[in-house]
Amino acid sequence: MARSVVPVDLFNPGQVFACLGLMELAEQLIGPTMGGFVWQAHDESEFVLECEAEDDPLATVLRFLAEAEVRSLVPPNADLTTEKWSVSSLGLGRFDAFPVPQPESPASLPAVLSARGVEVIVASWGDARVRDRISTGRDALKFWGGSGGYPGAALLRDALDLARDQLEDASERPFDVARPQSSSFRFDWRRDYVPLDAGFSLNEHASMAPQGYPVVEILAAIGLSHARPERQSKLRYRYGVVGHAAPLGQAHLGLLPAAILRAGLGGSPLPFDRRAFIMQLDWPGQENQARCITSVFEETIQ
């Protein structure tokens, strides 16, 4: 049995989503996995991941990402491709199931991460209501702008390319891997800002790029595969974590399966210790285009 412990900021939604992404990948790469959040009074927190096999779950996930190729997934007979953005496309056969409603533009095509004979589909940004088509009705949590713009598969490829050379040494604090990043999924709010609030726009300074956190962005996108925060409005979401208070670095009890942590992310009432948070968003540019997280506060659970 192997265990990994990752420092996490519970007030950073992207890092919380990324913890679920670690768990989702570990289950696909290794096998049955248990996990949970552990916190202290001063909001120093950890995510604990435990697998039945002897493979270190975090190291296994980071090795997979370091080797992974990104392609877009295209439904049968669809005139869609991401070749324009130098992302190759994988076409499905006539009788293959497509994971989301057929998108109207390449921007919403799912991505496939492939390495060591394993394929991982990342499709949350395309999992939304589409008129006259069957869908799950879940919120896509697509914060970057433009339905016909830059594809999610290309954003994932870009984030991986930024992080690859640092993944081998990222096992201590993977969520702190930082690189200049011109565009992202906007899950880690340390990178984002609203120009009107900041008093300037980086669009006017071509030589500058905000500091992004590509490992968080990659894992957060994967973590949303089977779980979403609760949408309260376009600019307000509620998310939760399940775990317990304990001294950091000590043995942890009460780890839970992925299904429980997924339900906890959506704020479902559960018979376990949990915490809930509200994330507030704003429009960094034109209204109803891109959104970015501007503040997070903890909600009292009754």
How far apart CA 295 and CA 35 sit, in angstroms, is 27
Q: Find out whether 53 and 223 touch, Cβ atoms under 8 Å.
A: no
How far apart CA 130 and CA 170 sit, in angstroms, is 39
Q: Going along 52-191, which residue ranges are E strands?
A: 69-74, 89-91, 111-115, 118-122, 179-180
Q: What pLDDT, in 10s, does the model give residues 232-284?
A: 999 999 999 999 888 766 656 679 999 999 999 999 899 999 999 999 998 98
**What percent of the chain has pLDDT above 90?**
59
Q: Which residues make beta-bridge pairs with 111?
A: 72, 122
Q: What pLDDT, in 10s, does the model give residues 6-52?
A: 999 999 999 999 999 999 999 999 999 999 999 986 678 999 999 98
Q: Going along the chain, which residue ranges are E strands?
A: 2-8, 33-39, 45-51, 69-74, 89-91, 111-115, 118-122, 179-180, 211-212, 230-233, 236-245, 256-257, 274-282, 292-299
Quote the pLDDT of residue 41. 67
CA angle 152, 158, 159 (to 5 degrees): 90
